[in-house]
Chains A and B, each alone.
Chain A
Amino acid sequence: MNTLTETVSETKHHIPFETIASEKLTPVRKSAIDTFNNIGFPTSKDEDWKYLDLSPIKNTPFNHRAAACTNLTASEIEKYKIAGTDAVTLVFVNGVYCAELSTPHKADTFSIEFIETDNALQWFGKLAATEHQPFIALNTAFHHEGLFIHIKKGMEVKQTIHLLHLNDARQEAVAAHPRNLVVAENNSKVQIIATYHSLNHFPSLTNSVIEFFVGENAFVEYDVKQDENEKALQINQVYAQQKRNSVFDISTVTIGGKLVRNNLHIELAEPGCTAHLNGLTVAGENQTVDNHTLVDHASPNCESFQLYKNILDDDAHGVFNGKIFVRQDAQKTNAFQSSKNVLLSDNAVMNAKPQLEIYADDVKCSHGATTGQLDEEALFYFRSRGIGKKDALALLNYAFAGDVIEKINNDAMKADLLKQLAQKLRTDIEFEV
């Protein structure tokens, strides 16, 4: 089989999309392929991809149209569901929506349909432009049966909507291109969670794109858990555009995956918006986790808060590249960014690049970045009370990371993450924190 670049060049001559999707998107797909052929994969010379080695993605011969649903059963999916929710679970296998495994969803507050419908197409690709973005171009070319989630005006969605992504790479190397679109109309409220999992004998790639349109006074929370295994690669792109007085909160918790790249692009398009971006990475072995954020303050009187933490063990490599961009007319902006990182081993590497690009004068913007070890004194305090070094470190790490998870409003997601965090840090916490 061929590498990704070769596959794309071949596809140029023979586009089989008619067989897999509606034809409405065919021209868009074709032009996305042209774009990809023109720009190709980024290299380490690209400032935005400087610290990331993409060769595992470039050199693996992935199948881009792996069977949807495969032969997975509902019971195999069950363990990925977040316990204790009556969530609307939407299952995507290899990037394709799988109705058999998903919860039936009928509600007055929102509607779900395929992204190829006319309703969705008026929004599709408006934020995630393919120019200069090879992975978005790939996704635009290859995505299949993604969903359009439409939250109706003034409605609060009581159930959590859970986007459950599972890559099945047990038979062959698989590339999935999940593509979803969320439109929250004015005065609506919704909590969406996304979890990423994989079954690997072969490598898998998740190249996901999701676009959010947050209407006036709307509240949207999007919590992501990346828990794929050690053969899985992931490029995750989240775009959001906020209208007047809206709130958009996103938390990205990365626990698994060999190589994970998150690109967040939040546009505060109208005055009075608030955005929270939280990120937590707990990585070990030879994991690489690269978090990029861009908060675009395009309007006055908006606020944004970013908190990113990394705990890196073994040979893990963490990257944080966050940018606060304040446009000329975005006066009275408050924008804050903090990146805190702990290195636990001699071989762990952290690269942080917190950036401010500011063109307005009446602003309050700051960023901070620290990299180091856990507080010696706190460690000593534990040990003086008879708690061993290993346990003390685990507890301190748990508290350090818990800071980010505490910011998640979705209780089920929060509980699930805290539990998993405790496991990952090899600490057994039996009390409520």
Chain B
Amino acid sequence: MSEDLKIIDEVTGSDYKWGFVSNIEADTAPKGLNEDTIRFISAKKNEPQWMLDYRLKAFNQWKKMEEPSWAHVNYPKIDFQDIIYYSAPKPKKTLNSLDELDPEVKATFDKLGISLEEQKRLSGVAVDAVIDSVSVKTTFRDELAKLGIIFCSFSEAVREHPELVKKYMGSVVPYTDNFYAALNSAVFSDGSFCYIPKGVRCPMELSTYFRINSAGTGQFERTLIIADEGAYTSYLEGCTAPQRDENQLHAAVVEIYAHKDAQVKYSTVQNWYPGDKNGKGGVYNFVTKRGLCAGERAKISWTQVETGSAITWKYPSVILKGDHSIGEFYSVAVTNNMQQADTGTKMIHIGKNTSSTIISKGISGGKSNNSYRGLVRIGKNALNARNFSQCDSLLLGDRCGAHTFPYIECSNPTAKVEHEATTSKVGEDQIFYCNQRGISTEDAVGLIVNGYCKEVFNQLPMEFAVEAQKLLAVSLEGSVG
């Protein structure tokens, strides 16, 4: 293992070093999942009866469902009764200044180019008065509220905007959808809720970072974004800094509902603990993400950079129901060591003149397996539908695997569907060219891989893109040779 991987490992393992306040017994649900657990969670969150009913319905559905096994991943069977489904957010121990931070952790932060303020936030340094994060957040919130934008935690939305939650929750991902969506619907801990009213263009990138209570949303996150007619928003999830999480199983649900002429751009950078180089530990990330272009000319765009998690199982999808609606999916998935990723998208064309674009870049190193699995379905009435898919895989070692499983289902003769995929390794001539100009092999690979992912990075919001590039280089270190 190279020096840098060690650093990452230490960073990712850092929770133990800094520790949590351990007195949490009273706020933790007993192990296991039954109706009582769900009632407990609901009661803890002071939820109204209808929310509890929804959870119980989802739970009953979940009991009837079987764990899916079609994905190209291997993991020991999960014992769903051996999981704690609710524990209250744990306050982190605060440091007095960045100087107290482990220098190696700081080095990684610097490598990623994370700003000083953010470094402080991530490492739990008490933020001084000048840059009081709470006041920053409040300022943002006021500004958003002036425009009528609702941006709050999911529990808050359940209490304060029940009519919106009732109307839209489950409208894109019903609790009957799949095993993990049902589980999430039954036990979801918290998440974000976002509503952009008619004709409003959200003036800033919405990010979980700015949301009060963003810490400790737990393992079953639920996000609901509603863009009303003509609204626009760009939403950021996650961050590039490595995160260690004591929850092994993550089953999140993200729903996006785009009305007529609305546009939603959803960007994710995921860098959860991928386990050590022998595949021990690591997060299981089983996510259901789906957007619905309900009205005409709606547009939903997913951009994701996936570098973490031991197992990723994620298919951000778009249902193109409105005529002329557009779906986009840009993805970079990196796996190293023993990581396994089975990720891709679904584009369901229902309306007329709909179009979708899929650009997926998979990079595998070490002994990892990286699969693209995507569905493009052209419905019978999807006149003049258009799809273009490109899935490239790059192999950085002779013990890793790269796989492509596209499903193309076309039922309309006017549709034009194109899919292409390639698998190859980094060209030796390219590396030689770089070497010849004094660039080390490791840097050369970083350079080439970054170029290879450029199409996707270009879709990320500026500050994210810069961090993502660096993250990629860090993730791949040690995989060359």
Interface of A toward B, CB cutoff 8 Å: 47, 328, 331, 341, 343-373
* Segment of B110-118, B276-284, B395-403 engaged in the interface with chain A: B395-403
Q: Give 10 closest A-B pairs by Cβ, nearest first.
A: A361-B395, A343-B413, A352-B408, A356-B404, A372-B416, A371-B410, A369-B419, A366-B422, A365-B423, A371-B417
The residue on A at minimum CB distance from B414 is A373
**Main DSSP-derived SS at the B contact region:** strand
Q: In the complex the two chains form, is A373's CB within 8 Å of B413's CB?
A: yes
The residue on B at minimum CB distance from A359 is B401
Cα of A361 to Cα of B479 in the assembled complex, Å: 13
Q: In the complex the two chains form, is B411's CB within 8 Å of A363's CB?
A: no
Q: In the complex the two chains form, is A349's CB within 8 Å of B411's CB?
A: yes
| Interface residue tally on B, bucketed by range | 35 or more
A295 to chain B, nearest CB (A): 14
Chain A residues closer than 8 Å to B403, beta-carbon distance:
355-358
The residue on A at minimum CB distance from B372 is A356
0/1 per residue, B366-409, Cβ < 8 Å to A? Answer: 00000000000010100000000000010111111111111111
Cα of A353 to Cα of B389 in the assembled complex, Å: 13
The residue on B at minimum CB distance from A362 is B425
Cα of A361 to Cα of B408 in the assembled complex, Å: 26
- Picked from A350, A356, A361, A372, the residue with its CB within 8 Å of the CB of B421 is A356
Q: In the complex the two chains form, is B410's CB within 8 Å of A349's CB?
A: yes
Q: In the complex the two chains form, is B423's CB within 8 Å of A363's CB?
A: yes
Given contacts A343-B412, A367-B420, contact A362 B398 (CB under 8 A): yes
19 pairs, A vs B, C-beta closer than 8 Å: A47-B70, A343-B415, A349-B409, A351-B408, A352-B419, A353-B408, A354-B404, A354-B419, A357-B403, A361-B425, A363-B395, A366-B420, A366-B423, A367-B419, A369-B408, A370-B416, A371-B408, A372-B415, A372-B417
Known contacts A352-B408, A358-B402, A370-B417; 13 additional CB pairs below 8 A are: A347-B380, A349-B409, A350-B409, A353-B408, A355-B403, A355-B406, A358-B393, A358-B403, A362-B398, A364-B423, A365-B424, A366-B421, A369-B408
Chain A residues closer than 8 Å to B70, beta-carbon distance:
47
- Picked from A328, A353, A368, the residue with its CB within 8 Å of the CB of B399 is A328
Chain B residues closer than 8 Å to A343, beta-carbon distance:
410, 412-413, 415
Cα of A350 to Cα of B410 in the assembled complex, Å: 5
Cα of A357 to Cα of B370 in the assembled complex, Å: 10
Q: In the complex the two chains form, is B407's CB within 8 Å of A363's CB?
A: no
Q: In the complex the two chains form, is B420's CB within 8 Å of A346's CB?
A: no
Chain A residues closer than 8 Å to B415, beta-carbon distance:
343, 371-372
B168 to chain A, nearest CB (A): 32
The residue on A at minimum CB distance from B369 is A359
Q: In the complex the two chains form, is B401's CB within 8 Å of A354's CB?
A: no
Q: In the complex the two chains form, is A369's CB within 8 Å of B423's CB?
A: no
The residue on A at minimum CB distance from B399 is A328
Q: In the complex the two chains form, is B393's CB within 8 Å of A356's CB?
A: yes
The residue on A at minimum CB distance from B416 is A372
The residue on A at minimum CB distance from B364 is A361
Chain B residues closer than 8 Å to A370, beta-carbon distance:
416-419
Chain B residues closer than 8 Å to A355, beta-carbon distance:
403-406
The residue on B at minimum CB distance from A360 is B398
- Picked from A345, A347, A357, A366, the residue with its CB within 8 Å of the CB of B401 is A357
**Main DSSP-derived SS at the A contact region:** strand
Q: In the complex the two chains form, is B420's CB within 8 Å of A368's CB?
A: yes
The residue on A at minimum CB distance from B408 is A352
Q: In the complex the two chains form, is A356's CB within 8 Å of B417's CB?
A: no
Q: In the complex the two chains form, is A361's CB within 8 Å of B420's CB?
A: no
Cα of A47 to Cα of B71 in the assembled complex, Å: 11
Cα of A357 to Cα of B403 in the assembled complex, Å: 4
Q: In the complex the two chains form, is B419's CB within 8 Å of A344's CB?
A: no
B372 to chain A, nearest CB (A): 9
Q: In the complex the two chains form, is B421's CB within 8 Å of A346's CB?
A: no
Chain A residues closer than 8 Å to B421, beta-carbon distance:
354, 356, 366-368
Cα of A373 to Cα of B415 in the assembled complex, Å: 8
The residue on B at minimum CB distance from A313 is B413
Chain A residues closer than 8 Å to B412, beta-carbon distance:
343, 346
* Residues 418-447 of B contacting A (Cβ, < 8 Å): 418-425
Cα of A351 to Cα of B406 in the assembled complex, Å: 10
A294 to chain B, nearest CB (A): 13
The residue on A at minimum CB distance from B402 is A358
Cα of A50 to Cα of B416 in the assembled complex, Å: 23
A297 to chain B, nearest CB (A): 12
Cα of A348 to Cα of B424 in the assembled complex, Å: 35
Cα of A343 to Cα of B374 in the assembled complex, Å: 22
Chain A residues closer than 8 Å to B423, beta-carbon distance:
356, 358, 363-366
Cα of A328 to Cα of B407 in the assembled complex, Å: 25
0/1 per residue, B248-277, Cβ < 8 Å to A? Answer: 000000000000000000000000000000
Given contacts A358-B393, A373-B413, contact A363 B424 (CB under 8 A): yes
Chain B residues closer than 8 Å to A350, beta-carbon distance:
408-411
B398 to chain A, nearest CB (A): 5
Chain B residues closer than 8 Å to A352, beta-carbon distance:
406-410, 419
Cα of A341 to Cα of B380 in the assembled complex, Å: 16
B256 to chain A, nearest CB (A): 27
Chain A residues closer than 8 Å to B410, beta-carbon distance:
341, 343, 349-352, 371
A323 to chain B, nearest CB (A): 9
The residue on A at minimum CB distance from B375 is A353
The residue on B at minimum CB distance from A333 is B423
Q: In the complex the two chains form, is A369's CB within 8 Å of B398's CB?
A: no
Cα of A369 to Cα of B416 in the assembled complex, Å: 11
Q: In the complex the two chains form, is A361's CB within 8 Å of B396's CB?
A: yes
B334 to chain A, nearest CB (A): 15
Chain B residues closer than 8 Å to A345, beta-carbon distance:
413
Q: In the complex the two chains form, is B406's CB within 8 Å of A369's CB?
A: yes
Given contacts A366-B422, A368-B421, contact A354 B406 (CB under 8 A): yes
The residue on B at minimum CB distance from A353 is B407
Cα of A356 to Cα of B400 in the assembled complex, Å: 14
Cα of A328 to Cα of B401 in the assembled complex, Å: 8
A22 to chain B, nearest CB (A): 42
B193 to chain A, nearest CB (A): 36
- Picked from A328, A341, A372, the residue with its CB within 8 Å of the CB of B398 is A328
Chain A residues closer than 8 Å to B424, beta-carbon distance:
363-365
A341 to chain B, nearest CB (A): 7
Cα of A366 to Cα of B408 in the assembled complex, Å: 16
B387 to chain A, nearest CB (A): 9
Q: In the complex the two chains form, is B413's CB within 8 Å of A344's CB?
A: yes
Chain B residues closer than 8 Å to A349, beta-carbon distance:
409-411
Chain B residues closer than 8 Å to A363, beta-carbon distance:
395, 423-425
Q: In the complex the two chains form, is B409's CB within 8 Å of A358's CB?
A: no
Q: In the complex the two chains form, is B407's CB within 8 Å of A361's CB?
A: no
Cα of A347 to Cα of B412 in the assembled complex, Å: 7
B353 to chain A, nearest CB (A): 15
B366 to chain A, nearest CB (A): 11
